[in-house]
Chains A and B, each alone.
Chain A
Amino acid sequence: MISITKNDKRDDGRKFDEIRPLKIEAGVLERADGSAYLEVGGNKILVAVYGPRESYIRRLLKPNTGVIRCRYNMAPFSVDDRKRPGPDRRSTEISKIAAEALRPSLMLEGFPRSMVDVFIEIIEAEGGTRCAGITAASVALADAGIPMKDLVVGCAAGKVNDEIVLDLSEKEDKEGQADVPIAMMSRTEEITLLQSDGNLSEDEFKKALDLAMEGCRQVNKVQIEALKTKHAQDVESES
């Protein structure tokens, strides 16, 4: 069992309201329409976006608007014990919630009967991959030039040793008491994903939600910076 003393530090030396070091890079894949690479703590995530494009899965398409489809996939070597490759219950769920978290930001009305494909590949996992995946996917969607109202940003908060903490690591997630991953639109702060695992009192939940939203604001700054470094340079070199 980890021993967290009653000072204001966590197991890995972070403050309670501190996120892990974060790095995002946009436009890393040549053949994808849009892509992003994200590293947060021990997580390494690669996202590729294709489309809007024609899809042959006719039952998913809608006659009045475009649709988004996500695939969240963990590499077999992404965790300590080898993960059996292929979709499982967890990754199917995350694929679904990621698509639903991203959908409100996209304006696909101009692309009826077409589909946007988002592939979230977890290369290394260390807690909080679903939020990090959504964050990276939003950067990749912006990189692909898909019309969107806003960037979607994800961050988690939770309860570890009776303290509400931000951006749980894998250890904190496993040994902690609760985990609240959220995703929100960065400007309007509309929440597009809210899950809760574990037990929290009403006050604790509110505190965790506020903390996660504050984390989202910090992550959003890095998202914007990543897109600016990739694309503002292109603009300057052209002019």
Chain B
Amino acid sequence: MKVKSGDFVMPGDILGVSEQFLPDKWTYDDEGQIKAVILGTVDIISSKKKVSIIPSSGNPAVVNLGDSVYGEITDVRGQRAMINVQKMKNIDRQLALPYMATIHISQVKKGYLEKLTDVFKIGDVIEAKVSKIMGDNLDLNTEDKEDGVVKAMCTRCRAYMVPTEKKNELYCEVCDRKERRKVSLNYDCQKQLD
């Protein structure tokens, strides 16, 4: 059986033998035969001798390097903040693995940052890019403008805060308090309904 790029295959379809290609994404080597594991179209890269499947349906939400993710700050230490990763941006599917992430003080913003508590507080929801993957442990980066805190609560009264004219500052309307954060360009400014 000959397959070519663009062919529609089912899980278990034989794409070739292991002498022909190296199995890449969504393919596997079953005792010398390269098979598809997912519904989709075949993609053969002749120069690299690689065969992969482009999924036609949704596929499990696994993060890749450079993906944008949303997470909640669970702890802020001296050099690192711990983040519970909740969702990938633009993908409406629950994450396949229980990802735990950290962000180092040097990865938060460009330039020098003295205290991590000046940019993140426990409970903040952040948007960040994945910079390193070790199994289900991730390293994140928020140096870009659109990355940073997208939703934060006041540390005194726990009301949602709104951004101010000043960069990297949030204001609590309930207790008239200003707090410092690394505010994302995508900060959620919608008024909360009671």
Chain A contacts to B: CB under 8 angstroms: 27, 33-34, 50-54, 105, 107, 110-114, 142-151, 185-187, 224, 227-228, 230-232, 234-235, 239
Contact A231 B95 (CB under 8 A): no
Q: Find chain B residues with CB under 8 A from A110 CB.
A: 62
Q: Given the complex of chains A and B, what is the CA–CA distance between A34 and B38 in angstroms?
A: 13
Instruction: Report the interface size for chain B: residues with CB under 8 A from the other chain.
Output: 29
Which of B50-58, B72-80, B123-131, B154-162 is the interface stretch? B50-58
Is B63 positioned at the interface, with any CB of A under 8 Å from its CB?
no
Contact B56 A231 (CB under 8 A): yes
Is B98 positioned at the interface, with any CB of A under 8 Å from its CB?
yes
Chain B 13-42 interface mask (CB, 8 Å, partner A; 1/0): 000000000000010101000010111110
**B11, chain A: closest CB distance, angstroms:** 4
Q: Find chain B residues with CB under 8 A from A230 CB.
A: 57
Q: Given the complex of chains A and B, what is the CA–CA distance between A54 and B94 in angstroms?
A: 8
**A50, chain B: closest CB distance, angstroms:** 7
Nearest A residue to B57 by beta-carbon distance? A145
Given contacts A148-B11, A151-B12, contact A111 B97 (CB under 8 A): yes
**A166, chain B: closest CB distance, angstroms:** 24
Q: Find chain B residues with CB under 8 A from A111 CB.
A: 60, 62, 96-97
Contact B37 A112 (CB under 8 A): no
- What are 27 A-B residue pairs whose CB atoms fall within 8 Å in the complex? A51-B60, A51-B96, A52-B97, A53-B95, A54-B95, A54-B97, A105-B11, A110-B62, A111-B96, A113-B136, A142-B10, A142-B38, A142-B39, A143-B57, A145-B57, A146-B38, A147-B38, A148-B12, A149-B11, A149-B12, A151-B12, A187-B12, A231-B56, A231-B57, A234-B56, A234-B57, A235-B40
Q: Find chain A residues with CB under 8 A from B95 CB.
A: 53-54
Contact B98 A54 (CB under 8 A): yes
Chain B contacts to A: CB under 8 angstroms: 6, 8, 10-12, 26, 28, 30, 35, 37-41, 55-60, 62, 93-98, 135-136
Q: Given the complex of chains A and B, what is the CA–CA distance between A185 and B30 in angstroms?
A: 15
Nearest A residue to B54 by beta-carbon distance? A235
Q: Given the complex of chains A and B, what is the CA–CA distance between A228 and B26 in angstroms?
A: 18
**A137, chain B: closest CB distance, angstroms:** 14
> What 5 A-B pairs have minimum CB-CB distances, sorted nearest first?
A145-B59, A147-B37, A150-B12, A53-B94, A54-B98
Point out the residue from A50, A146, A151 that lies within 8 Å of B10, measured CB to CB.
A151
Most chain A CB neighbours (cut-off 10 Å) among B8, B96, B136: B96
